[in-house]
Structure 1
Amino acid sequence: MNGVLYKVRESFATVKPAEKVVADYILHHPEDVVSMSIQQIAAESYSSPSAVLRYCKSIGYEGFKDFKLKLAGDLSILNMHDLDKQHLEPGDSIKNVMTVITHNNIQSLHESLQLLDVEELTKAYRYLTQAKKIDLYGVGSSYLIASDAVQKFMRINRPCTAYSDFHMQRVSAVNLGPEDVAIAITYSGETKQVIECIQIAKSQGAKIIAITKYADTEITSLADAVLFVAAKEDEFRSAAMTSRMATLNVVDILYTACAHEEYDDALFHLKRTHEIIQQSGEKGGNKQHD
Structure 2
Amino acid sequence: MEENMGSGVFYSRVQEKLDSLSKKERETAEYMAAHQGQLIYASITELAELVGTSEATVTRVCGKLGYRGFQALKVSVARELVTPQEKIHEDLQPDAPAEAIIEKIFSSAIETLVMTQRAMDATAVKRSINALCSARRIVVLGNGNSGSIAMDAQHKLLRVGLDAHAYTDDHLQMIAVSSLTAEDVVLAISHSGSSRNAADAARLARERGATVISITNNGISPVSKLANIRLYTYSQETRYRTYAISSRMAELTIIDTLYTGVALKMGEQAIDNFEALEKALIVKKY
Shorter-chain TM-score range:
0.5 to 0.7
Task: Show the counterpart of 2:258.
Answer: 254
- Trace 1:171-190 onto structure 2 (pairs within 5 A): 171-190=175-194
CA distance in 2, matches of 1:180, 1:215: 26
* Cα drift, residue 164 of structure 1: 2.2
Q: TM-score, normalised by structure 1?
A: 0.66
* Cα drift, residue 87 of structure 1: 3.4
Task: Show the counterpart of 1:58.
Answer: none
* Cα drift, residue 265 of structure 1: 1.0
Task: Show the counterpart of 1:91.
Answer: 95
Determine if contact 1:189/1:219 at 8 Å carries over to the other structure: yes
* Cα drift, residue 238 of structure 1: 6.3
* 1:45-81: CA deviation from partner (whole Å, max 9, x where unpaired): xxxxxxxxxxxxxxxxxxxxxxxxxxxxxxxxxxxxx
Segments of 5+ residues of structure 1 without an aligned counterpart are 1-8, 18-85
Size of the aligned set, in residue pairs, is 206
The one of 232, 239, 255 equivalent to 2:236 is: 232
Task: Show the counterpart of 2:22.
Answer: none
* 1:237-263: CA deviation from partner (whole Å, max 9, x where unpaired): 664111111100100000000001112
Determine if contact 2:120/2:232 at 8 Å carries over to the other structure: yes
* Cα drift, residue 230 of structure 1: 1.3
Secondary structure at the counterpart of residue 167 of structure 2:
coil
* 1:107-156: CA deviation from partner (whole Å, max 9, x where unpaired): 00001112211111111111001001110111111011000111111011
The one of 96, 109, 113 equivalent to 1:109 is: 113
* Cα drift, residue 187 of structure 1: 1.2
The one of 242, 267, 271 equivalent to 2:271 is: 267
* Cα drift, residue 11 of structure 1: 7.8
Percent identity of equivalent pairs: 26
* Cα drift, residue 235 of structure 1: 6.4
1:168–1:11 distance in 2 versus 1, CA, 3 Å: closer
The one of 120, 143, 146 equivalent to 2:147 is: 143
1:214 aligns with 2:218: yes
Segments of 5+ residues of structure 2 without an aligned counterpart are 1-39, 52-89
1:129 aligns with 2:101: no
Q: TM-score, normalised by structure 2?
A: 0.67
Determine if contact 2:41/2:239 at 8 Å carries over to the other structure: no
* 1:210-269: CA deviation from partner (whole Å, max 9, x where unpaired): 001111112222111100101222268664111111100100000000001112111110
CA distance in 2, matches of 1:218, 1:201: 14
1:164 aligns with 2:161: no
1:242 aligns with 2:246: yes
